[in-house]
């Protein structure tokens, strides 16, 4: 991210999901793979923790997978490669080309200035804002295009979620900054 404007933008979590095998014997997988746990009474999938890159995956008997915890594309790719290798070592045949895609990114961003959330709520007065300071100290703003949800705090810090890539997140920031500029 060479762009100075987005200097404070930081990926906090990437969630990806897809299919890595036609079917998976979860009992066999959890017995043969270290850090892979199965508690069928509590959850229908196996939970596989990877130390480096630090992430977790939910693996289901259908061959579907959900990965969480990666902070960049390389960590996601590396983590998926470790999971595929573990499947092979456990005697489970993965798909030649696992079909896994990012479904959500959570990012933090700092505007570097104080925001009067009460004033922002009054001036914007639209249905895509939720602000109940007695319940939660941040204002929830739903950007329609791209479809991003921003938690805006009076400190100027923002949590953005819902993007599938950094371009979506950056467009969401641009929309927010335009709205905020209109109230200054």
Does position 34 have pLDDT exceeding 70, yes or no? Answer: yes
Does position 121 have pLDDT exceeding 80, yes or no? Answer: yes
- Name all domains of the chain by residue range, CATH numbers in brackets: 16-102 (3.30.310.10), 111-181 (3.30.310.10)
pLDDT tens-digit readout, 152-176: 999 999 999 999 999 999 999 998 8
Helix (H) or strand (E) segment spanning residue 136 = none
Does position 1 have pLDDT exceeding 60, yes or no? Answer: no
Which SS3 state, helix, strand or coil, does residue 5 take? helix
What is the overall mean pLDDT for the chain? 92
Terminal CA-to-CA distance of the chain, rounded, Å?
28
Q: Which of 118, 104, 107, 113 lies closest to 177, judged by CA?
A: 113
Which position has the higher pLDDT, 181 or 82? Answer: 82
Does position 132 have pLDDT exceeding 50, yes or no? Answer: yes
pTM beyond 0.85, yes or no = yes
Does position 2 have pLDDT exceeding 80, yes or no? Answer: no
Does position 46 have pLDDT exceeding 50, yes or no? Answer: yes
Q: Give all strands of the β-sheet with 148-152 in edge-to-edge order.
A: 36-38, 46-50, 55-59, 64-70, 10-21, 94-110, 157-163, 148-152, 139-143, 129-130
pLDDT of residue 184: 64
What ranges in the chain are assigned the alpha helix state H? 26-32, 73-89, 117-124, 166-181
pLDDT of residue 53: 94
């Amino acid at each position: 991210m060479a762009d100075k404007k987005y200097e404070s933008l930081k990926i906090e979590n990437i969630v990806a999901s897809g299919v890595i095998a036609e079917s998976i014997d979860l009992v066999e997988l959890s017995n043969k793979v270290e850090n892979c746990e199965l508690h069928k009474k509590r959850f229908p999938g196996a939970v596989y923790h990877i130390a480096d890159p630090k992430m977790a995956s939910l693996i289901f008997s259908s061959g579907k997978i959900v990965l969480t915890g990666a902070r960049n594309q390389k960590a996601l790719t590396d983590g998926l490669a470790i999971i595929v290798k573990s499947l092979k070592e456990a005697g489970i045949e993965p798909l030649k080309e696992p079909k896994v895609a990012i479904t959500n990114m959570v990012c933090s961003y700092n505007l570097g200035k104080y925001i009067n959330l009460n004033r922002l709520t009054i001036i914007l007065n639209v249905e895509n804002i939720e602000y109940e300071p007695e319940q939660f100290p941040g204002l929830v703003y739903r950007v329609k295009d791209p479809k991003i949800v921003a938690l805006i705090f009076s400190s100027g810090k923002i949590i953005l979620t819902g993007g599938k890539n950094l371009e979506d997140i950056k467009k969401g920031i641009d929309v927010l900054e335009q709205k905020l500029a209109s109230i200054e």
